[in-house]
Structure 1
Amino acid sequence: MLSTRRKFLTAGGAAAALALGGNLPEIRSAAAGWTGRADRRDPFTLGVASGDPLPDAVVIWTRLAPDPLAPFGGMDRRPVEVQWQVAEDAQFHRIVRSGATRTGPEASHSVHVDVRGLRPWREYWYRFRVNGRLSPVGRTKTAPAYGAQLSELSLAFASCQAWWEGWYTAYADMARREHDVVFFLGDYIYEFGIDRGIRPGSNEPHITRQTVTLDEYRQRYAAYRMDPDLQSAHASAPWVVTLDDHEVVDNWADEAHPSAPPAQFRVRRANAFRAYWEHMPLRLSSLPKGPDMQLYRRFRFGRLAEFSVLDTRQYRSDQAYGDGTKAPGPETKDPARTITGDAQEKWLLDGWAASQTRWNVLAHQTAIARLDTKEGPEVLVPMDTWDGYEASRNRILGGAVQRKVRNLVSIAGDLHRNVASDLKLDFDDPASATVGAEFVGTSISSGMDGQDLDPGGATLLRENSHMKFGNFQRGYVSCRVTPQQWISDYRVVDKVSVQGGTVSTRAKLLVEDGRPGIAEVQQ
């Protein structure tokens, strides 16, 4: 193991080993007044963000990086004090919380402040200051009190943002809407190297080489985070994030990947997890411990909606039949195989048993509905989705029915296409009971411009009677949730290959309280 670690350490030397462990500085209080001479270099090139809202708390984030693509973001190896403020107004006349924390090279000078003592269901604005320089201002919002009778919730969800394949026009649209919360469901970065891309700078070494070391993962996140539209979306609302495969490597499963022996892969996973945490507005409870990171968690918005955020990578069995698109068989149906792991499955089902909310939402990586991709009577499904883990799917959907879960909704990404489906208790039987609705969002940019309906999408609609809508453009999904209905607004971009594309609503889909499945599709 020692020789493996040496091989995978970054160019930064000892800094890379921090991916395998290490503690972070604690927050301490500070006076609200800010003084000091400004540094000429802007340390806030990667913007600000907030996330994981609770009724009395939210995490605020930034990373100091005056030279974002350089090792350690161009910072030296000394710790730095960072001041922060949270206010009830964007002008910071009514500051309600303030303090200071120290950050340093062990966290790549990232800052995660878990701001406590806030009021439920309130807008707040936040900012940072270091060496006399002020950060951009971010808007955030706490969750409602757990027992609150909420009349409406506005949320968005997105996934899959290959930087070199298109502009982040969808994020500019998302930012203008100022949702109550945004869910990001995986593939924040892509780890592989490329030959060419749409954006200027796509031929730079930090994009064209594959990420393996900690420095390389940090640099890839910095390249993505420099995008102004992505920064605007982060600054517009709190984000709840989870990862999929490309934050580590394509189609990884637990500690298995064909790119390396298990010992080497664990080091790569540790590097990837460390860089992920450093660039996301996550609490210390999600700080990786070597190659392990706690990501599944639950968020409640009063008595209106509860979101179970899943991690379907870290605990899954290896893909059936060697991965790819295959016919279902004994391996996919094997009850010993799992996509969630036993502990997470129990956590999810126990949470549903105790739920008292109107809407119960799975926020996760990929489609739980069957995706038959083959024209005709033969069934071919992707082994990397829940189709490759049928026993897991049956336990989850059957468990929801057994626990009388009210208004089950799944939101997911990964497919690079918009797909909306009824969730069936038995996908082998079209007449089987409908137990919920699923909304899969397309990519922000992955796959480039796309088209309204490609041949693959047309086949999916013909072969899967439970599928109610399909589209192959880029974009995201904006949702309005009330006690009576859930409306998913599929926002699509005409072109991501150029800046300034046009964003429009392609379809609105309705789910009604007490009626499982999709009740109406407005196109």
Structure 2
Amino acid sequence: MDYRSFEQLLHSRIKRRNLIIGVGAFTGLAIANQFSHQQAIAKSRFSNYPFTLGVASGEPDPTSVVIWTRLAPEPLNGGGMPPVNVPIHWEVASDRNMKRIVSRGTVIATPQLAHSVRVVVEGLQSDTWYWYRFNVGQDVSPIGRTRTAPFANSYLSKLNFALVSCQNYQQGYYTAYKYLAKDDLDLVVHVGDYIYEGGISASAVRQHNSPEILTLEDYRNRHALYKTDANLQAAHAAFPWIVTWDDHEVENNYANATSEVDNEPDQDPQVFLQRRAVAYQAYYEHMPLRPFSKPVGPDMQLFRRLDFGKLATFHVLDTRQYRTDQPCGDGTKERCPENLDPQATITGKAQEDWLYKGLNSSQAKWNVLAQQVIVAQIDRTVGEGGTYSMDKWDGYVASRDRLMRFLEQRKPSNPVVLTGDVHSNWAMNLKADFNNPESTIVGSEFVCTSISSGGDGADTSPAIEAYLPENPHIKFYNGQRGYVRCSLTPTTWKTDYLVLSNVTTPSGTISKRASFVVEDGRPGIQQV
């Protein structure tokens, strides 16, 4: 597919209307065999082109990958689908023109999942590009491209991926995705704040579609609004994605079963858990996740591991669902007794044990911790004292101390933490003891800026530059928008910070702001 004409293709297909679908359009032995025990599919009429939200793929392993779409002829109006089951045909090919079909089938889109579908396409070749599409009757989706992973014990000479986060629709255009979709990448890693839950801002660059979202329909419509962006659709269609969430997929700075925003209607934990349940369901409905992540009420399995040959293992974390309440409130404050509580946790014990077990047994050259909030200590004062952000790992000192101690003592191969959340770029060394400049470097952390959150931003910040000398492990800061490109080989990890001139207009241009490398077996970040 020519991604440069993606937006024109989408708009032309949205103009198509009044397609009648029904069982008669889906005759054949394959359908009969797969759905002989299903109830008859009622006829329905689409009010518009049904694939308005594009296609996506994710969760690659050596023999399978997830492909996704959602029928939504009226995406901002609950999807605009009748409350009936609808069969969707899918195809996977080994060529971009979809001539060499290697797998095909039919999946049922149900009202219970907002007519979203995910197909785990099995039996594929490892480390191979594929193309895929969906169709309902004569309506055909855009063509997406995806790639399987190599086998865990195989040699892989290189892996290129993009790190992204924080895409507030109201605060800027998704220009970064336009450039990302054309980059030489194997996958995209999104570490949270895919949507924002807030209401309509009168001063927004482009506005949200409703007041603050609370119900399942609200969350579905908000996800749909974000997914109507042509640049985001192009990035999803170009590469498989690995995703995890942060807070705004539900509510700002929430912790476990607790709402963290004052004067909200969900301060009662039971009410908040109901809100969390519908937010988790909408997230699952709109992401190319495997079925094991399907939520059960307010609980959803999101931490998981993905291998890419002997080169890299991604340990994908969830630092939001299981954390205890932020100590001393959730702002930037001085230390307090709760901040040092050994029972306080940002991951929960089960996930922490799972992480250590995986790191301890990993055979990968690079161990990647894809997660949400900054791990490294950041003292935000100038001179004596110390203030720290309680919503980050700085608010959970015992959790971080255990992780740093594990990295120092067990020495898993080349640990690199990937982070989002703060709408700015950072490159930092991880230290066994952040209060001792001579302490051992145990790993590296690369923080990506936002796609759009925070507006245009600026290269530097006088307030942040003032306290950087108090944090010698911080090697780089930048406050512009963009994405981070990571290029891995068996000997070197290279990180490029790609930044945009602006996001408050659609015409922003991109440039490389800085590059850093980490060498195999040599912890610590070096600027190129």
Aligned to 1:22: none
Matched, 1:149 2:155: yes
Aligned to 2:401: 394
Change (3 A) 1:140 1:341: same
Aligned residues: 485
TM-score, normalization by structure 1: 0.90
CA contact (8 A) 1:214 1:271 kept: yes
| Identical columns (%) | 51
TM-score, normalization by structure 2: 0.90
Aligned to 2:341: 334
Aligned to 1:162: 168
1:194 deviates by: 3.3
Aligned to 1:6: none
Deviations along 1:280-330, one digit per CA (max 9) or x if unpaired, are: 001110000000000000011000011100000111010001221111233
Aligned to 2:217: 215
Change (3 A) 1:247 1:101: same
Q: What is the distance in 2 between the residues matched to 1:417 and 1:29?
A: 51
- The worse-fitting range, judged by mean Cα deviation, of 240-249 and 186-195 is 186-195
1:29 deviates by: 5.4
CA contact (8 A) 2:47 2:74 kept: no
Amino acid corresponding to residue 484 of structure 2 in structure 1 = V
Q: Secondary structure at the match of 2:181?
A: helix
Q: Which aligned pairs between 1:172-191 and structure 2 lie closer than 5 A?
A: 172-191=178-197
Q: What is the distance in 1 between the residues matched to 2:524 and 2:67?
A: 36
392, 406, 414: which one aligns with 1:407: 414
Q: Secondary structure at the match of 2:406?
A: helix
Deviations along 1:165-194, one digit per CA (max 9) or x if unpaired, are: 001010011100141111100000110113
Gaps of 5+ in 2: 1-28, 33-43
Matched, 1:235 2:242: no
Matched, 1:512 2:516: no
1:460 deviates by: 4.2
81, 84, 87: which one aligns with 1:75: 81
Aligned to 2:98: 92
CA contact (8 A) 2:496 2:514 kept: yes
489, 497, 501: which one aligns with 1:490: 497
Aligned to 1:427: 434
Q: Secondary structure at the match of 2:271?
A: helix
Gaps of 5+ in 1: 1-27, 32-36
Change (3 A) 1:152 1:81: same
1:197 deviates by: 4.1
CA contact (8 A) 1:43 1:65 kept: yes
Deviations along 1:338-391, one digit per CA (max 9) or x if unpaired, are: 000000000000001110111111000011001111122221110000000011
Aligned to 2:110: 104
Matched, 1:499 2:506: yes
Q: Secondary structure at the match of 1:299?
A: strand
Q: What is the distance in 2 between the residues matched to 1:118 and 1:380?
A: 51
1:406 deviates by: 1.0
Q: What is the distance in 2 between the residues matched to 1:379 and 1:324?
A: 13
Amino acid corresponding to residue 141 of structure 1 in structure 2 = R
CA contact (8 A) 1:285 1:294 kept: yes
Q: Which aligned pairs between 1:357-396 and structure 2 lie closer than 5 A?
A: 357-396=364-403
1:39 deviates by: 6.5
Matched, 1:250 2:255: no
CA contact (8 A) 1:61 1:110 kept: yes
Q: What is the distance in 1 between the residues matched to 2:234 and 2:513?
A: 23
Q: Secondary structure at the match of 1:53?
A: coil
Matched, 1:478 2:490: no
Matched, 1:347 2:351: no
CA contact (8 A) 1:56 1:116 kept: yes
